[in-house]
Chain A
């Protein structure tokens, strides 16, 4: 501690420059973390907020097209419902549509909606769902200027729906706002039937997937259920990959973050390598004076801990400050505590790993070099 502090103060310009780089990286990490959380929320918050453990799709369904391609039947839902480890199972319909919202004053707003067809009164249904033409929308729909009581007309079909309630929170799917509607209405729309059209046979028996809820404290035997019901099921988390664009977006951001962590660790490692080489003669003198290598390594690790903690804290404060301005824009940006804490720990931890790799050089400094006239 004795030497660490005094060297930090003495070489404050050098340490400050390196700390500045780490702080800038920390800002980027915060912004990416916010973007990542924002994209997750924009992509799958509609799914996250469903009280669902897993989805059973049509047999052979691939993850990336699950919600758009799959069709299951009421019989399959019944089979799932009869299984011991399933507390409840219900048909779930999912379709993306374009629509127009007509306001009380006659003006119109074009909106995209992710229609979630659920049986009113089932465990999936939000409060307020019941009327055949009544929809319950994500709070984000109201943010776009649509009001409760407005009429929503589905393009091409002309189906008229009425906004009766909001969920009060953000529920989006594939960057599109969610609107819950009764399963029967969803089945008509999904079958392509307008208000006056006949619905083709069997349409009222179908939905996209069977939503499953496990009994408390139990895991659902997915493969056993699949065999019995003739479905392909996946957990709720796995089904996020079926949200349009979700996997590509998240993996891009994760890749950038991995690079940032690697850059940060390398910068810190390089700095402490150069710092150790610069002080080679000094380290030889201190070792000749009887310092153990542990004493000198501890010294450098204290310096690394101080500089990493301080610069990460500064970077995070600036990042969160700047980021909070972004949360009010249309950008999918949400600052969440858990991923930020994880990112801070990673940044400091990997920086320390970089420094630790550099201090190994201290062992190789020969205290004999202190004798003679190198200076």
Chain B
């Protein structure tokens, strides 16, 4: 781990109760139409508490990405309910969902998906500009070990560094829910372990409810709970 201080700079007051984590309740999602329909999510129920780090593993096409899309308000499920930080977003309009995303959700994408034009610090500032609130971006960059690279653009950063900036960008708005899509897909083993350890530490410190979708079984020991997804069904990993 290369994070800065070990003491959490967050206020001591319990963020858990006021933010409320993530709840998916009997969520079903069918993709495609006509004969080519696929059940991406089959009666999925999942509760992630604030400060809990849940991993979801499973083969490609099992519905892992669909689960992130539904949890993050990018896709509306056919049935069931989605609660973000205690707010039901299932039937919200596109405009409201966008507002919930910028205020309550942090996304971490496969390769960081940083904006090429922006420096590391400005990636965080963009998220703050969208959400209209959040924490000190410099301090957060320090905490993910990127303080010394604040002025660098994505093409000047390594894959692991990009992912660290991506994590800081997702957390800077103090979201209730952190949705992480294959964070180690483009990283070697040692870096993968660093990144997932960082995610675990930030999840616990920030009290955010985190779901990580991954293929990488070597990093699962950092997670509080591991679930497996096959053909749209979610079950506990043996």
Contacts of A2 in B (CB 8 A): 122, 125-126, 129
Interface 9-residue window, one of B21-29, B113-121, B221-229: B113-121
Tell me, in angstroms, the Cα distance from A368 to B95 when the chains sit together.
15
Provided the pairs A370-B113, A372-B65, A375-B113 are in contact, do residues A288 and B107 lie with their beta carbons within 8 angstroms?
yes
Contacts of B125 in A (CB 8 A): 2
Contacts of B181 in A (CB 8 A): 371-372
**Which parts of A44-97 form the interface with B (CB within 8 Å)?**
none
Expressed in whole angstroms, the minimum distance between the Cβ of B56 and any Cβ of chain A is 13
Provided the pairs A285-B109, A290-B103, A291-B130 are in contact, do residues A373 and B185 lie with their beta carbons within 8 angstroms?
yes
User: Can you list 6 A-B contacts (CB < 8 A)?
Assistant: A6-B118, A6-B122, A288-B72, A371-B65, A371-B74, A372-B110
Expressed in whole angstroms, the minimum distance between the Cβ of A132 and any Cβ of chain B is 79
- Residue A295, interface by CB 8 Å: yes
Q: Is the CB of B75 within 8 A of A368?
A: yes
List the count of A-B residue pairs having beta carbons below 8 Å apart.
79
Tell me, in angstroms, the Cα distance from A3 to B119 when the chains sit together.
11
Contacts of A3 in B (CB 8 A): 115, 117-118, 126, 129
Tell me, in angstroms, the Cα distance from A3 to B126 when the chains sit together.
7
User: Residues of B at under 8 Å CB distance from A?
Assistant: 65, 68-69, 72, 74-75, 95, 98-103, 105, 107, 109-111, 113, 115-118, 122, 125-127, 129-131, 153, 169, 181-182, 185
Residue of A nearest to B65 (CB): A371
- From A286, A368, A373, contact of B110 by CB (8 A): A373
Contacts of A368 in B (CB 8 A): 69, 74-75
Q: Is the CB of B131 within 8 A of A290?
A: yes
- Residue A120, interface by CB 8 Å: no
Contacts of B74 in A (CB 8 A): 288, 367-368, 371
Contacts of B105 in A (CB 8 A): 290
Expressed in whole angstroms, the minimum distance between the Cβ of A223 and any Cβ of chain B is 59
Q: Is the CB of A370 within 8 A of B107?
A: yes
User: Residues of A at under 8 Å CB distance from B?
Assistant: 2-3, 6-7, 9-11, 281-282, 285-292, 295, 367-368, 370-373, 375
Tell me, in angstroms, the Cα distance from A92 to B170 when the chains sit together.
82
Expressed in whole angstroms, the minimum distance between the Cβ of A174 and any Cβ of chain B is 57
Q: Is the CB of A373 within 8 A of B102?
A: no
Expressed in whole angstroms, the minimum distance between the Cβ of A291 and any Cβ of chain B is 5
Given A289-B127, A371-B69: 16 more A-B contacts, CB < 8 Å: A3-B118, A9-B117, A10-B117, A285-B109, A286-B130, A287-B98, A288-B72, A288-B101, A289-B102, A289-B126, A290-B100, A290-B131, A291-B98, A368-B75, A370-B109, A371-B68
Q: Is the CB of B95 within 8 A of A11?
A: no
Q: Is the CB of A373 within 8 A of B182?
A: yes
Q: Is the CB of B130 within 8 A of A281?
A: no
Contacts of A370 in B (CB 8 A): 107, 109, 113
Expressed in whole angstroms, the minimum distance between the Cβ of A374 and any Cβ of chain B is 9
- From A282, A292, A367, A373, contact of B115 by CB (8 A): A282
Residue of A nearest to B169 (CB): A289
Tell me, in angstroms, the Cα distance from A317 to B105 when the chains sit together.
49
Q: Is the CB of B117 within 8 A of A290?
A: no
Tell me, in angstroms, the Cα distance from A6 to B113 when the chains sit together.
17
- From A10, A290, A371, contact of B102 by CB (8 A): A290
Contacts of B169 in A (CB 8 A): 289
Tell me, in angstroms, the Cα distance from A290 to B107 when the chains sit together.
10
Tell me, in angstroms, the Cα distance from A35 to B115 when the chains sit together.
47
Expressed in whole angstroms, the minimum distance between the Cβ of B128 and any Cβ of chain A is 9
Residue of B nearest to A11 (CB): B117
Contacts of B122 in A (CB 8 A): 2, 6
Q: Is the CB of B117 within 8 A of A6?
A: yes
- From B99, B113, B153, B185, contact of A290 by CB (8 A): B99
Q: Is the CB of B126 within 8 A of A286?
A: yes
Expressed in whole angstroms, the minimum distance between the Cβ of A42 and any Cβ of chain B is 51
**Which residue, A9, A281, A367, has most C-beta atoms of chain B within 10 A?**
A367
Q: Is the CB of A7 within 8 A of B101?
A: no
